[in-house]
Structure 1
Amino acid sequence: MASTASSGPPPPPPPQWVVALNNPAPARPPKTSNIPDPPGFSSKAAGKQRAQQQPSTTTPTPSRPVETDTLKLKKAWEIALAPTKQLPMNAIMMYMSGNSLQIFSIMMVFMLFKGPIQGLMATNTTFSKFETDATRGKLVGVKAVYVLMQLLLLALGVWKVNAMGLLPTTRSDWLAWESEREPLERAFFAFG
C-alpha cells in the first residue's frame, strides 16, 4: 500500500526583520554624495578608536577672579531673595487653612515658623561658600536682605497665630491679672 503523506501547505517565509537580523549587514557603499562631513567628524577616523585620535588643541580658559566673584555674588542674591518667592505661596496656604484650631492649621503654622527660624540661625553658613576677600563687604547687604525676607515670613506666621486667636491681644486674655471693680454705691431691695 502506497501512502501519500501530505503535511499541508508549506510554512510562510520568515519576516524581513528576521532575515535582516540573522544575516550580517552588507558593507556600506562608498561615499558618493557631495555633502561634506560635519565639523569634527572625519570619515577616515570613523573606523578607528577615539584613543588613537589626536587630542583637541583647545583648552578651556581659566576664569578670572573678578568673573568668579561676580558669579558668586549673583548666586548669593538669588539665595537671599528665595524666601520672597515663598511668601505668596505661604500666605495663600495660611488663608486657605482657616482660623480654627485643627491639626492641619497648627501643623501649617508650625512649619511656617520652623523654616524662617532655621534660616535665620544658618545665615552665616548659607553664605560662607560665597565669601572671599573681594565679596566680604558686599555680602553684608545680601545677608541683611536675607534676614529681612526671613523676618517677613515670621511676620506672616505671627499674623496667622493672631488670626487663630492664640496671641493674648485682648483684655479678656489677661483677666487673671485684673482686679475686681469696687462699686461706688450699693442698692438694696426694701420692703415697704
Structure 2
Amino acid sequence: MSSALPPPPPPQWVVTLNSPMPRPTKAANSIPDPPGFSSNRGGKQQKQQQKQPIEKKPEETDALKLKKAWEIAIAPSKQIPMNAIMMYMSGNSLQIFSIMMVFMLFKGPIQGLIGTNAVFAKFETPATRGRLLGVKAVYVLVQLGLLALGIWKVNAMGLLPTTRSDWLAWESERQPLERAHFAFR
C-alpha cells in the first residue's frame, strides 16, 4: 500500500492574498489632516462645529443663482457655430440625413422656448425676479437665433415658398390693356 503524501503548502502570494489587511497603526493616525479637511477624530467641540451648517447671506445666494442663470441662458449660443457647420456640410438636397438634421435643429429651440420658465424656476426668488427678466430675454433671443439658422437651412433646401414661381397657381392671367396687330401694305 502506498501512503498518500500531504499536498505541498500554498505559495506565499496565495497566503498574503487570502489574509486580511493589517490594521493601520497609530503612526498612520499621527499624520495631520490637509488644509480644509477635518476628520472625526476631534473632541466634542470639533464635532459641534461640524454639525453647524455654513450660513450664506441671501445676497450671496442670489448672486450665485443669477450667475448660474446667465450660464444657462448663454449655453445654447455655444451650439450655433456647431449647428451652422453641420447644416452647411449636410448639403441642400432632400435626403434623410439633412431632413433629420433640420428636424433636430427645430426641435431643440422650440422645446427651449416652451420651457423657458421651467428652466429658470429654480433660480427665481423675490429678490431675483426682476433681474431674471433680462436673463430670460437673452435665452429667448439665443433660441430664436437657432430657429433662424433652421429657417435659413430650410430656405437653402428650397422648401420655403419665397420665389414668384412658387405662387403661380394663385396668380391670375394678366389682361393686356392694348393689342397690336401687324398691318401689311
Same fold (TM over 0.5): yes
Percentage identity across aligned positions?
A: 70
The aligned residue for residue 44 of structure 1 is none
The aligned residue for residue 17 of structure 1 is 13
Q: Could you tell me how far 1:60 is from its partner in structure 2?
A: 3.1
Q: Could you tell me how far 1:12 is from its partner in structure 2?
A: 6.5
Q: One-letter code of the match for 1:56?
A: K
Q: 1:62 aligns with which of 55, 63, 82?
A: 55
Q: What aligned pairs does 1:1-192 form with structure 2 within 5 A after superposition?
A: 14-20=10-16, 37-40=30-33, 54=44, 56-58=47-49, 59-182=52-175, 184-185=179-180
TM-score, normalised with respect to structure 1: 0.74
* Count of matched residue pairs: 174
More helix by share: 2
Q: CA RMSD in A?
A: 3.6
* Alpha-carbon spacing, 1:90–1:21, altered in 2? closer, same or farther (3 Å): closer
* Alpha-carbon spacing, 1:84–1:16, altered in 2? closer, same or farther (3 Å): same
Structure 1 residue runs without a partner (length 5+) = 41-49
Render the CA deviation track for 1:55-86: whole Å, top value 9, x for unaligned.
62323321111111011101110110011011
The aligned residue for residue 46 of structure 1 is none
Structure 2 residue runs without a partner (length 5+) = 34-39
Q: One-letter code of the match for 1:100?
A: S
Q: Could you tell me how far 1:96 is from its partner in structure 2?
A: 1.3
The aligned residue for residue 43 of structure 1 is none
1: CA distance, partners of 2:107 / 2:136: 19
Q: One-letter code of the match for 2:164?
A: R
